[in-house]
Structure 1
Amino acid sequence: MENSLRSAAGRIIRDSALVGKDESVLIIHGAHNGDFASLLAEEAIRAGALPFIWSFDDSLISDFPEKPSESVAGILRKADVVIWLSQYTAVDDLSKDVQEKVFSFWDSIYGLLQDEKVPTLLVNLPPLAWIEEDGISPEEYMREFVSAVDVDYAGMRELGLIVAERLRGAKEVLITDENGTHLMFSVEGRRPGLEDGTLRDCRLKRRECEVEIPAGEVYIAPVESSAFGRLVVPQDGLELEFQGGKVASIKGDRADELRERIAGVPGGDVIAEFGIGLNPGVKPLGLRIFDEKALGTVHIAIGHNLHLGGANESKIHIDFVLSEPTVLVDGCPLMERGVLKL
């Protein structure tokens, strides 16, 4: 597995981050993924770059600043590339007031990177204990993580551009599946985006400066008042009914959990995103941040979507992944039972 992880680190440095000679690379990581951060640093050195590692161990914290100092902000602004691994390990064990400070601090870091348009890769490597809580073995996740990183990025981009073109100028989308999903919404006037797993566009045009790894999706923000119908997500134990763009009712085994999560959160019940997975190396595991990238899936999100070109601001963004759906765009098939029709 170590050789596979080293290979994945090399792909991230060379093909995703596009790290070049003499560049500075800031690698942020938590206590649980320090070994992979070290592999990234070694691969950055092999590329002729100068890596800096920022280690964060929330198990050692008793207090924390709410915002970074100017010296820390200066380091971030000067970085040519930031590779940000999932940084939380034991944040749930902190007191509520310290948690709030920690979240505020990292929100400030994120906002600064966005404001300064620093090319940033967000690498989804959460603590393995969290993975196990979702019923996924750590070995399986790491194996599938490597598979999801070791893909043809140029081919994924080419496919994504074709899919995005089908959505460009479109008016109406209908999603159905064998589980009972029948959801219709408008995308009129909204522009599709492509996340192809590389910082190519960010580096060339100083935009789209946040890319997730594993990656691979075309996304668009539906018109917020337009969603009507039913969204059935068996793996999440949920059935959502939309009216006027908002979640009107929630049923299923985990309905109470979702109701509690969005209760009292302004904009948390509004449709936010329609995404189409592009990554042929992703096998759905039951982890949303991973599964939504899989080729043959689509996802619907509720909550915040300003970053997607939408108009809804919220403190939450929740994705729901559908496997093997059928998608019609202005009445024409874009996907049939999980197979793209291009």
Structure 2
Amino acid sequence: MDPLIEVAKSILKHNLNLKEAERVLLVTDAESYEIADVFFQAGTALRNETLLMKMETRSKSGEEPPLMVAEAMKMADVVLCITHHSLTHTKARKDASREGARVATMPGITMDMLQEGAITADYLEVEELTAHYCGLLDAGERVTIEKENTTLTFSIEGRNGIPSTGVFREKGESGNLPSGESYIAPIEDSADGTILVDGSIAGIGVLTEPITLTVRNGRLVDASGKEGKQLLDMLGDGNGRIIAEFGIGTNREARLTGNVLEDEKVFGTVHIAFGSNKPFGGTNEAGVHIDCVIKEPTVTIDGKKLSFH
């Protein structure tokens, strides 16, 4: 276990900029407890006050943690959410960030992911690539994604691109770890068309066959195949089906493994998500947020084709 503790210490010091006397909170559940305990040992080895809170596993990504966890998150300097389902797009995470906590969310992280793939990236390069694509999103108004014979278009006018670099140096910074993506909340009712998803879907994994999503006025109205039906069931019949996010992967070391935490960071992929986007500049609250990863699409912003080199 010692090499893993060294990895966790390095993450706390370099990715989360942990300083002397800062308080660390680890939020976990039964599925992720073993990895959270590695970080607990790392935090205590660094002589920081470190607390581990184990909660009942949430039923889906975007579901709020218990009130006691949410309150504790606001009191910490550094928070790691090492959980089965994502707490990234929750009010609890947003409130903790507002109070100044640096929050890293690590949904579904595995022991393998602590040692291989995205976590091993050159994070200076990740920061540069992420800033580049965020600049294009900030300046852009209309996005078109094409994949085989499908096309999806939507507006991002007036919305800001958000960098997720996996490096959190300043008070209130938050995002996934490992990371590497530039993302934005599209205008909720602006998306129209169809898009072929051939990578993976959060909560489902790597797809056994590509599925076609049909979106009308920003709402997912159909998804083909058995896994498409699974997606619709996870999102429910309400606000969960509204388009929430468009993201661009910026981590050259990330692999498509079936774990969306790493999948959506793969360089050369993009992802769209449905459900909650209020925590990052949108208007929709749904209690669910599900990402769908598309491999090597053609993307244009205001008519200019994105380069993945």
After superposition, give the CA deviation of every residue in 1:214-247 in whole Å (9 maximum; x if it has no partner): 2111001111121111111232652111222222
Unmatched tracts of structure 2, length 5 or more: 58-64, 199-206
The aligned residue for residue 9 of structure 1 is 8
Q: TM-score, normalised by structure 1?
A: 0.75
The alignment partner of 1:253 has SS state of helix
The aligned residue for residue 283 of structure 2 is 311
Judge conservation of contact 1:224–1:311 (CA < 8 Å) in 2. yes
The aligned residue for residue 196 of structure 1 is 165
* Displacement of 1:112: 4.8
Judge conservation of contact 2:74–2:97 (CA < 8 Å) in 1. no
* Displacement of 1:3: 5.4
Determine whether 1:275 maps to 2:261. Answer: no
The alignment partner of 1:149 has SS state of helix
State how far apart, in whole Å, the 1-side matches of 2:196 and 2:99 are.
39
Unmatched tracts of structure 1, length 5 or more: 59-64, 89-102, 127-140
* Displacement of 1:297: 0.8
The alignment partner of 1:254 has SS state of helix
* Displacement of 1:210: 2.8
**Counterpart among 175, 178, 181 of residue 145 in structure 2:** 175
Q: TM-score, normalised by structure 2?
A: 0.82
- Pick closer, same or farther for the CA change 1:111–1:311 going to 2, 3 Å: closer
After superposition, give the CA deviation of every residue in 1:96-141 in whole Å (9 maximum; x if it has no partner): xxxxxxx9xxx78546524534221112346xxxxxxxxxxxxxx5
State how far apart, in whole Å, the 1-side matches of 2:188 and 2:54 are.
39
Larger radius of gyration: 1
- Pick closer, same or farther for the CA change 1:145–1:321 going to 2, 3 Å: farther
After superposition, give the CA deviation of every residue in 1:277-327 in whole Å (9 maximum; x if it has no partner): 111221101222320011111001111111121122222211110011111
State how far apart, in whole Å, the 2-side matches of 1:80 and 1:32 are.
25
The alignment partner of 1:232 has SS state of strand
Judge conservation of contact 1:196–1:215 (CA < 8 Å) in 2. yes
- Structure with the largest fraction of helix: 1
The alignment partner of 2:131 has SS state of helix
The aligned residue for residue 102 of structure 2 is 119
State how far apart, in whole Å, the 1-side matches of 2:3 and 2:150 are.
38
- Pick closer, same or farther for the CA change 1:317–1:54 going to 2, 3 Å: closer
- Pick closer, same or farther for the CA change 1:329–1:57 going to 2, 3 Å: closer
The alignment partner of 1:268 has SS state of helix
State how far apart, in whole Å, the 1-side matches of 2:83 and 2:230 are.
24
Give the aligned residue type for 1:153: Y
Give the aligned residue type for 2:216: Q
Give the aligned residue type for 2:106: V
Larger relative contact order (CA 8 Å, sep ≥ 6): 2
Determine whether 1:241 maps to 2:211. Answer: no
Give the aligned residue type for 1:230: T
Judge conservation of contact 2:185–2:281 (CA < 8 Å) in 1. yes
* Displacement of 1:32: 4.2
Deviates more, 1:116-125 or 1:224-233: 116-125
The aligned residue for residue 81 of structure 1 is 78
- Pick closer, same or farther for the CA change 1:108–1:144 going to 2, 3 Å: closer
* Displacement of 1:254: 2.4
State how far apart, in whole Å, the 2-side matches of 1:66 and 1:45 are.
25
Give the aligned residue type for 1:229: G
State how far apart, in whole Å, the 2-side matches of 1:268 and 1:33 are.
25
Give matches, 1:25-44, under 5 Å.
25-44=24-43
The aligned residue for residue 111 of structure 2 is 142
The percentage of counterpart residues that share the same residue type is 29
Which runs of at least 4 in structure 1 moved beyond 6 Å after TM superposition?
A: none
State how far apart, in whole Å, the 1-side matches of 2:120 and 2:228 are.
36
- Pick closer, same or farther for the CA change 1:324–1:11 going to 2, 3 Å: farther
State how far apart, in whole Å, the 1-side matches of 2:296 and 2:39 are.
35
Deviates more, 1:216-225 or 1:46-55: 46-55
